[in-house]
């Protein structure tokens, strides 16, 4: 067993789970794997494709996981300055009846668009070009909710995002994602149509153990919402990408932006949400990031635990039957039996400016400890009666919030005569002592200071 492989006992537990899912779900075939240290550390196949047990090199349709790939392509364009997530769609696709909705809203499924494209169900019928599809648009039918009012999953929205990607690059969506995302990540067996050894998509009769093949075609304008085929090996590489091994395809900051839930309090004990092209959930004190996929005859899932540095992927060739909790359960199995061994602690290089900020601070009468970690991040830790925890990373002369209530807000040290006397965090002023009269406390402080209670 090499260092990146799972122990036999862990592998046995995973195999038993996968075998049970394949049999109980009546899946013609199922492949699943665990990703650790940037590669598949374990994989297994059950059932058969072309008469033999499937392996990590067999292609399956990955359905809506395609949306995550499309999102990466658009964020690359954003990072180059060719578009912005606040851009209205009209700026890039003139004439659509939902042109007032933004690119960011489309990526987060809160643009209020209908779930499917107009006309026949796009997943089972030959696709239309964008002009053909756009000719069927109608604002009254296509817009169901106000912009930013609620989450409503929309395949149509990602068809529009794919068209924006194509127009900004002057090339087809398929060519852009192949050349700018898939090939640079080493995903050479991920294609828009089956290529080489690929599984057939099946429908399994609900009341009998018999099969019927499902249709497969080019979705054309709707392809960015669910067209791609991938192998377990390639999808494992994409899991490594989501864990942070971006291969220079996308910046770390943009990947973190994708993984940020929209419209949900991330400090809650349990929730599920959508980020930018990613499904995000929190369960049992852990945050899981990934995406599910389904097309007629195929089901797929990819889930990663960023904190543990482990991902899980699963691919099956049936319209229904794949246990949606399998990938997360696989991650829990690995965490319980092979928990991550963290890197050793090392001291931080000297940072005198940051050291001036550490110690105890008060926001009003609430106390906090500000601690400088070895990775250069400032951690704000509630003391005594609690409060809002936060982390900040240096950005020039200020620090930017990474999570919680202060996410995105600026921490600005306030100096008087060369001494840091306060911290301004989005207009909240923290002082070294409660209501320090020497600090710029908003509204000032009582000139008589603290005193015993009087009647």
- With a cut of 60, say whether residue 165 has pLDDT above it: yes
Residue given tokens 């099969």 in the structure block: 211
> pLDDT for 180-222, tens place per residue?
999 999 999 999 999 999 999 999 999 999 999 999 999 999 9
Give pLDDT, residue 361: 97
- With a cut of 90, say whether residue 348 has pLDDT above it: no
Q: Are strands 39-47 and 29-36 parallel, antiparallel or unpaired?
A: antiparallel
- With a cut of 90, say whether residue 244 has pLDDT above it: yes
Q: How open is the CA angle 380-304-319, to the nearest 5 degrees? A: 145
Q: What are the two backbone dihedrals, phi and then psi, of residue 128, each rounded to the nearest 5 degrees?
A: -110, 155
Distance CA 142, CA 206 (A): 33
Give pLDDT, residue 168: 98
Spatial contact of 79 and 251, defined as CB atoms under 8 Å apart: yes
Q: What is the residue-averaged pLDDT of the chain? A: 94
- With a cut of 50, say whether residue 245 has pLDDT above it: yes
Spatial contact of 267 and 277, defined as CB atoms under 8 Å apart: no
> pLDDT for 260-314, tens place per residue?
988 676 666 678 899 999 999 988 889 999 999 999 999 999 999 999 999 999 9
The alpha carbon of residue 116 and the mean position of all alpha carbons in its chain are separated, in whole angstroms, by 22
Mean pLDDT, residues 439-454: 88
Give pLDDT, residue 271: 83
Give pLDDT, residue 1: 45
Mean pLDDT, residues 164-170: 98
- With a cut of 80, say whether residue 174 has pLDDT above it: yes
> pLDDT for 146-160, tens place per residue?
999 889 999 999 999
Mean pLDDT, residues 17-43: 97
């Amino acid at each position: 067993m090499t260092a990146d492989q799972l122990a036999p006992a862990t592998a046995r537990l995973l195999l038993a789970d996968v075998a049970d899912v394949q049999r109980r779900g009546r899946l013609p075939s199922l492949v699943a794997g665990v990703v650790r240290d940037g590669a598949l550390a374990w994989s297994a196949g059950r059932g058969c494709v072309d008469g033999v047990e499937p392996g990590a090199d067999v292609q399956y349709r990955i359905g809506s996981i395609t949306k995550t790939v499309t999102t990466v392509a658009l964020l690359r364009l954003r990072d180059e300055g060719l578009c912005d997530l606040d851009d209205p769609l009209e700026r890039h696709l003139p004439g659509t009846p939902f042109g007032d909705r933004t690119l960011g809203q489309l990526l987060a499924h809160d643009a209020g668009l209908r779930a499917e494209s107009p006309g026949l169900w796009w997943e089972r019928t030959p696709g239309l070009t964008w002009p053909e599809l756009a000719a069927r648009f109608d604002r009254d039918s296509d817009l169901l909710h106000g912009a930013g009012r609620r989450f409503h999953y929309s395949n149509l929205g990602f068809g529009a995002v794919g068209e924006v990607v194509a127009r900004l690059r002057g090339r087809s969506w398929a060519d852009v994602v192949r050349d700018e995302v898939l090939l640079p990540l080493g995903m050479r067996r991920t294609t828009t149509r089956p290529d080489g050894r690929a599984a057939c998509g099946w429908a399994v009769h609900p009341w009998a153990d018999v099969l019927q093949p499902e249709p497969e075609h080019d979705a054309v304008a709707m392809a960015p919402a669910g067209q791609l085929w991938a192998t377990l090996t390639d999808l494992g590489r994409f899991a490594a990408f989501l864990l942070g091994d971006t291969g220079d395809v996308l910046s770390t900051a943009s990947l973190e932006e994708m993984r940020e839930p929209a419209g949900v309090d991330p400090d809650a004990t349990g929730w599920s949400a959508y980020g930018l092209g990613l499904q995000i959930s929190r369960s049992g004190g852990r945050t899981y990031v990934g995406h599910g996929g389904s097309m007629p005859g195929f089901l797929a899932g990819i889930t990663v635990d960023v904190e543990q540095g482990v991902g899980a992927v699963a691919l099956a060739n049936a319209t229904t039957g794949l246990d949606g909790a399998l990938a997360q359960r696989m991650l829990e199995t690995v965490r319980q039996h092979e928990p991550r061994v963290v890197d050793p602690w090392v001291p931080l290089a000297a940072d005198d400016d940051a050291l001036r900020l550490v110690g105890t601070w008060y926001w009003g009468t609430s106390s906090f400890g500000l601690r400088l970690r070895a990775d250069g991040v400032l951690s704000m830790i509630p003391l005594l009666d609690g409060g809002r925890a936060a982390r900040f990373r240096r950005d020039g002369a200020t620090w930017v919030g990474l999570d919680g209530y202060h996410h995105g807000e600026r921490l600005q040290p306030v100096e008087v005569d060369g001494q840091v006397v306060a911290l301004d965090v989005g207009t909240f002023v923290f002082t070294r002592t409660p209501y320090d009269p020497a600090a710029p406390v908003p509204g000032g402080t009582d000139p008589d200071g603290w005193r015993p209670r009087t009647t």
